[in-house]
């Protein structure tokens, strides 16, 4: 990669490292999320007003209620005027409730129509598959740039529409990045899509929002919105094969990796490792986290993860890798070169 591309990638890494991921429906970073938060604000306002009115009516009824005593008759004679006034109040309150509920339904429909009419010209296309419990992302070829596969961390260009084809590899999952859009189910055997646009650069945290098994709560992801230049540099780098290191320990680690069970589950482009059961590790160290967004991608956590994933993420499908201590250090040293 030429010098300008390396500098841009360094800028991407620095900005990503310094940015804390955002995860809030109340801080929209795109037009789709902005429409949804407007609907939420309207719903909150209407429901809050109805709740306050119910509390007020209850308080008034309590204050006006007659206090019983020993001389009071067991069945007081009903007051026709009071009952008529009460009946009119109930009818009025019920009518207002129906109008407000109908208004929320209309607002919901209008929001859905607004989302469906948003332009998606010249989009970035991504195929995202939910697995137990991680995310596989395939970027098809785009604008002459080759396609590639990555995991658990999406990069998108700010200001450009993104169309994500959603799939489930095993059970039902749900894609949800609240700063960018609402929830969308991922159903086995059924293809669906979700469109969003990140209008400002940043790092946004997503989460599986459908119970999908033991580690559902630990199935997160990051969506990194880059400037167009940074995204182009990131994409070109991700499409390349793994860099080879001249370091003796790393070279030994590569040999151990290729002849162990690791190569049967993971792909590292440019090597003999071509497994498809686990995440593609070609540019593992360019990702901020491991274990689907759960832990910082550091040599220490990476070594513990390779040794026994279940100590970090109980129920993880990746088995413990029985490597000697020296072999484990060598493998982690080599994985650390996969930038």
pLDDT band at 67 (very low <50, low <70, confident <90, very high): confident
List pLDDT tens digits, range 235-276: 999 999 988 777 899 999 999 999 999 999 999 999 999 999
pTM score? 0.83
Report pLDDT for 77. Answer: 67
Longest alpha-carbon distance in the chain? 101
Mean pLDDT for all residues in the chain: 89
Domains and CATH numbers, the chain: 15-58+83-238 (2.60.40.420), 248-335 (2.60.40.420)
Report pLDDT for 11. Answer: 46
* 301 in Cβ contact with 286 (< 8 Å): no
Give CB contacts under 8 A, 24+ apart, made by 143-150. 145/235, 145/236, 145/239, 146/239, 147/239, 148/238, 148/239, 148/269, 148/280, 148/282, 149/267, 149/280, 149/282, 150/238, 150/279, 150/280, 150/282, 150/283, 150/287
List pLDDT tens digits, range 160-188: 999 999 999 999 999 999 999 999 999 99
List pLDDT tens digits, range 91-131: 988 899 899 999 999 999 999 999 988 888 899 999 999 99
Report pLDDT for 118. Answer: 87
Report pLDDT for 61. Answer: 82
pLDDT band at 76 (very low <50, low <70, confident <90, very high): low
Report pLDDT for 81. Answer: 78
Report the pLDDT averaged over residues 12-23: 60
Question: Which residues have C-beta within 8 Å of that of residue 169, sequence separation ≥ 6?
Answer: 129, 130, 131, 132, 136, 188
Report the pLDDT averaged over residues 309-322: 90
How is residue 142 written in tokens? 């785009």
pLDDT band at 8 (very low <50, low <70, confident <90, very high): very low
């Amino acid at each position: 990669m030429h010098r300008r591309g390396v500098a841009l990638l360094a800028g991407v890494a620095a900005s990503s490292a310094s940015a804390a991921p955002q995860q809030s429906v109340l801080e929209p970073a795109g037009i789709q999320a902005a429409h949804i938060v407007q609907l939420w604000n309207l719903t909150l306002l209407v429901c809050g007003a109805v709740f306050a009115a119910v509390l007020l009516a209850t308080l008034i009824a309590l204050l006006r209620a007659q206090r019983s005593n020993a001389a009071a008759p067991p069945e007081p004679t009903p007051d026709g005027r009071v009952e008529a006034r009460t009946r009119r109040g109930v009818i009025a309150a019920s009518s207002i409730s129906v109008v407000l509920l109908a208004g929320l339904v209309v607002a919901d429909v209008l929001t859905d129509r607004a989302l469906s009419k948003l332009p998606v010209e010249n989009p970035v296309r991504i195929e995202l598959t939910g697995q137990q419990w991680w995310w596989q992302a395939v970027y098809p070829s785009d604008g002459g740039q080759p396609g590639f596969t990555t995991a658990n961390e999406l990069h998108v260009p700010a200001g450009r529409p993104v169309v994500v084809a959603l799939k489930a590899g095993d059970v039902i999952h749900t894609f949800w990045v609240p700063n960018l859009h609402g929830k969308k189910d991922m159903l086995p055997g059924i293809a669906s899509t979700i469109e969003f646009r990140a209008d400002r650069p940043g790092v946004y945290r997503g989460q599986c929002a459908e119970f999908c098994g033991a580690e559902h709560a630990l199935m997160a992801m990051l969506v990194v919105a880059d400037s167009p230049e940074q995204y182009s540099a990131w994409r070109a780098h991700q499409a390349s094969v793994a860099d080879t290191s001249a370091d003796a320990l790393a070279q030994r680690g590569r040999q151990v990796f290729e002849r162990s069970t690791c190569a049967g589950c993971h792909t590292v482009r440019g090597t003999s490792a071509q497994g498809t059961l686990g995440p593609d590790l070609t540019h593992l160290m360019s990702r901020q986290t491991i274990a689907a967004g759960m832990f910082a991608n550091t040599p220490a956590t990476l070594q513990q993860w390779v040794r026994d994933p279940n100590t970090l993420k109980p129920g993880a499908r990746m088995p413990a890798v029985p490597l000697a201590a020296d072999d484990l250090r060598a493998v982690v040293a080599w994985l650390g070169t996969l930038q």
